[in-house]
Structure 1
Amino acid sequence: MLISLDFTTLVANTVESQFGSDGSPYEKRVDARGRESEPVCIEGEIPFEIPEGWEWARLESVTTYIQRGKSPKYSTVEKYPVIAQKCNQWSGFSVEKARFIDPATVSKYADERVLKDGDLLWNSTGLGTLGRMAVYDSAKNRYGWAVADSHVTVIRTREDWLDYRYAFAYFAGPSVQSVIEEQASGSTKQKELAQETVRNYLIPLPPLAEQRRIVERVGELMPLVEEYGELEDAREALDAALPGRLRKSVLQLAVQGGLVPQDPADEPAGVLLERIRGQRRQLVAEGKMRAPKGGESIIFAGSDGRRYEKRVDARGRESEPVCIEGEIPFEIPEGWEWARLESVTTYIQRGKSPKYSTVEKYPVIAQKCNQWSGFSVEKARFIDPATVSKYADERVLKDGDLLWNSTGLGTLGRMAVYDSAKNRYGWAVADSHVTVIRTQEDCLDHRFAFVYFAGPSVQSVIEDQASGSTKQKELAQETVRNYLIPIPPLAEQHRIVGQFCAALSKLTNQ
């Protein structure tokens, strides 16, 4: 049994989870009269294995209050603060940036909406703010009263079951923050974490005494982590010596068309992309390929010389063009085109969290396997052989797959190319911190794509494209799909790759 507490005196509909005879976790609902629903397998929701004596629980089962704030009537009278997203930083809660409620409306707020010490304040909307969390601290609120606005979800734990400090440590960690945008709904620019999603979040529940020991240990380790981070920054600064800068220069020169001369006889990239779009439309019509969300992207130059983008759905209906000039990082030669990455790939997918095993047979590629020096399987961990059948064929890595590290300070943005010749096990998948990109090779050479994504035009701004805290940046899958990439003619891509390798070899041997 994963949840052993009796909640029927507290709620009308409670959740119980248990392991089935097949070893998979199941969930059932028990109402106030003790009537049980049919068990449902939730294996796909479990993000990682937990120690014996711990249990998985839905957040609503171990809290007394989960509620989004509401939109207030604001006032210039600085008496009753409203806690907004900007008040909640990973560095802690602050009332200094709060606005204030009209005093005449304060009586409309139920007592449960007034914030209490230990309330978790979870930012629930917006690109770059979604998922950020702070803990309410009345000692930092000189006004003595506060409520949340509609962009913040308030979570009040039941302290005899769930220590709010432990809950904060879990929700601030990578198992939640690295997939927070995938849990949210809405557009790329306006993600929203629904209240029902928050209520149904799974949280690992240690014994209460262990929760408190974990919190104390985290408090002891954080200063050491910060010190290590400073040392890592210093090491990276040393790595950025002259050879590194030269390499970056060659990378940028390559993807801007300055490494090899253009050949007028090459088929222009615009013709190539239009042919690829036709092929993709046919595959969608035949049910062999899923239509891109929002339609196929087409980027073109307008009569004013600026770049525009329109979307074309499976029926050929076109959206209104939108100017994207502000997104274009640099100018490209005539005959090249800009494209969204999803338009020139066949697969973009984050890996998933595996059930690990000591049986060294089926490796899982993690961030440490992907270095700028290349791909290596030596630091991989291994999947439980009994779970291998749960991985779809498309998740199994193929030669030329780009493995893009998508979370973490110091690892975010690092990329390698999968090479089966370096994998003696003959099979591998990625974990949830790595995004797999599979290019459409008759349109985009994976080696050229690697040169582009390894270059300074991407790497110098990678953290700006990511969401999350300074210490736990995360590159959302949707962000990867929408990355702009320059597309030269295919023959020129091959020449660029060859010339780049030759230039890099010269630099290395100097």
Structure 2
Amino acid sequence: MIVKNSSLSVDTEKLRKKILDLAIRGKLVPQDSQDEPASVLLEKIKAEKAQLIKEKKIKKSKPLPEITAEEKPFAIPERWKWVRLDDVGVITSGGTPKRNVPEYWNSEDIPWITPAVMGKNKDKVFNGEFEYISEKGLAKSSAQLIKKNSIVFSSRAPIGYINIVPFDFTTNQGCKSFTGIDVYIDYMYYAIKHQVPYIEKNGSGTTFKEISAAVFKSSTVPLPPLAEQKRIVTKIEEYMQAIKVIEDSSKDYERLQSQLDKKVLDLAMRGKLVPQDNQDEPASVLLEKIKEEKAQLIKEKKIKKSKPLPEITAEEKPFEIPESWEWVRLGEIFDITSSKRVKKNEWKKRGIPFYRAREIVSISKNEKLKDPIFIDEETYKGKISVSGKPRGKDILITGVGTLGIPYIVKPNDKFYFKDGNIIWLKNYFEIIPEYIKYLLFCSYMRKEINNGRGTTVATLTIVRANNLLIPLPPLAEQKRIVAKIEKIKQYLKS
């Protein structure tokens, strides 16, 4: 997650990784010369492990080779030691009882953990849902019972999920487990988590990568003194909690911003955001001028005559607007059309940008386009000779996918767009385009566009766009509304 405001821009996931990296390199907490060094701890672990083997509580494993310089990917403090996981614990592989034997399953004997259920668990300590296998099922599989407070690690599909399990459990073949001996298991969790990229490098397989038991056993981690392990975990979790507080606060702030933003737009479109000015030329006069200009453009054959739009009834008007405003249909104040069709075989890898609905959504947010497409200059000239070229202050609106997202054409824009995907509002009559943009995002218009007065719709067609009912303020008030909205938006970002 990236948390942003005027004074803060933090990639919290990157910050988590940095804290973990500093911790496992011995740079997060100071070393204490009074701590018993890791070399002494390692001797105690070897002795404890030998005793457990003698008592037949664990099996003796094959000796592993000395750790080479190449296996130590970074420097660690002098009192630390590089160790293999098998040096400081017991590694257990998983297994699966036969699925077609009911008595092996559907009991509540032993929790059975898989990578699939681990993937749904985002916490350090496993608290997700799982299946159970019976004691008989365990006995009939290669799986083994693993003691509580061991670490489970997904070793395939995918590699790298990791949890501490607070109860006795077993796993399928997609997991390896680590049961620590005289180490702080919470530290080992963070150490293994940090080493995942190094462990994954040693995976094998073609269809998918897998970490074998041998590879997991021989994987290296830095081992600090025991007291320092505990200090490291305390500091990591202190920082992680602080990051979570930042994220939670940011989410709350974003929700509040969104609510305020919607409220501002709703007030604006009801004439309650800025005061009315009785010196403004009322919207009724603006409408008469538009009708005259439209008639002249039709006469000059610059636009086509369209069918008369239905009268607006009292029942259609969803809320009160100021006296100087008018309820109008969108088609009364724009010439609404689309483009000349461009066939898919006319798309190119370079040339004149060609926008579909998805590109309009992206450029409206100033986002970089993913996999942009183009048409050549000859095709572009041929299409605009028929349908015309979008001019500055025209508005394009998405008609498929995320409906009703507007883009205000800039004076120097050079592009073409897909018919059926995008509705073109030709702004011959100098309506303030930013007013229409904000209008399209208010609650009333989102409902109209997306639900069509209760009807489920998949597209915004030219016919529907023409008939959309909108509140129209005087031209001067449109400008004041836009200025006020933008001032408030800037304040909310600061």
Normalised by the shorter chain, which TM-score bucket?
Answer: 0.3 to 0.5
Query: If the length of structure 2 is used for normalisation, what is the TM-score?
Result: 0.44
Q: Please, what TM-score do these two structures have when normalized by structure 1?
A: 0.43
Which of the two has greater strand per residue? 1
* Larger-Rg structure: 2
Point out the structure with the larger helix share: 2
